[in-house]
Chain A
Amino acid sequence: QKEVEQDPGPLSVPEGAIVSLNCTYSNSAFQYFMWYRQYSRKGPELLMYTYSSGNKEDGRFTAQVDKSSKYISLFIRDSQPSDSATYLCAMRGTDSGSARQLTFGSGTQLTVLP
C-alpha cells in the first residue's frame, strides 16, 4: 500500500462548479502538506502549502488538513477551464535534512468544461 493515496480520476465538471480533491495518507510523521498543479507537458507548480491541521484559503482555493483522519483536501470554487490540469498532493515530515524529499500522491486529472 502506498503512503499517499489519491483518486486518479479523471474528474470532469462544468465551469463554475466547486471541485473537491482529496488524499489520504498513512504516515503519521507527515506534518507539511502541499498541493501542486501540473499542466500537460509542464512541471508541477505549488498551489497551497499548509503545516499541521487546519484550513488555508487563497483566492478560489482552500486547503484542509485533518491529521486525526489522515485526510487532506483541496477545494476549488468557481472552477474555470484554465483549472484543467492534474492536481498532486504532496507531504513531508519535519526533518529539515529531508525537507526536499516529498511524498506525492499519484495525481487527479481534472477537466473543467466550458
Chain B
Amino acid sequence: KAGVTQTPRYLIKTRGQQVTLSCSPISGHRSVSWYQQTPGQGLQFLFEYFSETQRNKGNFPGRFSGRQFSNSRSEMNVSTLELGDSALYLCASSQTVTGELFFGEGSRLTVL
C-alpha cells in the first residue's frame, strides 16, 4: 500500500510570494492533518481535515489555509510568505479521526 505522498519535496520562494503544497493520503484514509516542523519550534499542528471539512486549526495566522477534496487529497496554501515560514511541512493521514497518524516525507520550503 502506498504511503502518504507529498509534492513538491523541495521548493524555494521569495518573500511575498504564495505557495501551495499537496498531500495524497494513504488509500482509504479520510483524515488529513498538516504540521510545520522548524528547528526552533519543533512540530506544530496547523490544521486537520476530514471529509472535506476543517475540524481543527492550530495557532497560525490566516495566511495559512488548506482544503480537502472529495478524494481526500489535501492542499495547504501559504500566502504572503515570510522568512519565518521556511520549514518542513508534514502531512499525516489516518483512517479515522482518532487513529494512528501516518506521516509523509514532507515538503521543505525555503523562503529567501
**B54 CB → nearest A CB, Å:** 11
- Residues in A with CB closer than 8 Å to B48 are 100-101
A106 at the interface (CB under 8 A from B): yes
Closest-CB distance, A22 to chain B (whole angstroms): 16
Q: Which of A42, A97, A99 has most chain B Cβ within 10 Å? A: A99
Q: Does A46 contact B (CB under 8 A)?
A: yes
The CA of A18 and the CA of B74, in the complex, are separated in Å by 41
CA distance A50 to B97 in the complex (A): 17
In the assembled complex, the CB of B49 is this many whole angstroms from the nearest CB of chain A, namely 9
Which chain A residues lie closer than 8 Å to B104 at the CB level? 43
A102 within 8 A of B: yes
Task: Give the total of B residues in contact with A, Cβ under 8 Å.
Answer: 23
- Residues in B whose Cβ lies below 8 Å from that of A7: none
Q: What's the tally of chain A residues with a CB closer than 8 Å to chain B?
A: 21
**B52 at the A/B interface (Cβ < 8 Å)?**
no
Whether a CB of chain B sits under 8 angstroms from the CB of A98 is: yes
From B43, B44, B56, B97, A44 is in contact (CB under 8 Å) with B43
B95 to chain A, nearest CB (A): 12
B90, closest chain A residue (CB): A43
Find chain B residues with CB under 8 A from A42 CB.
105
Residue of A nearest to B93 (CB): A100
The 16 sampled A-B contact pairs (Cβ below 8 Å) are A42-B105, A43-B92, A43-B106, A45-B102, A88-B42, A88-B43, A96-B97, A97-B55, A98-B56, A100-B48, A100-B56, A101-B45, A101-B56, A102-B43, A102-B45, A105-B42
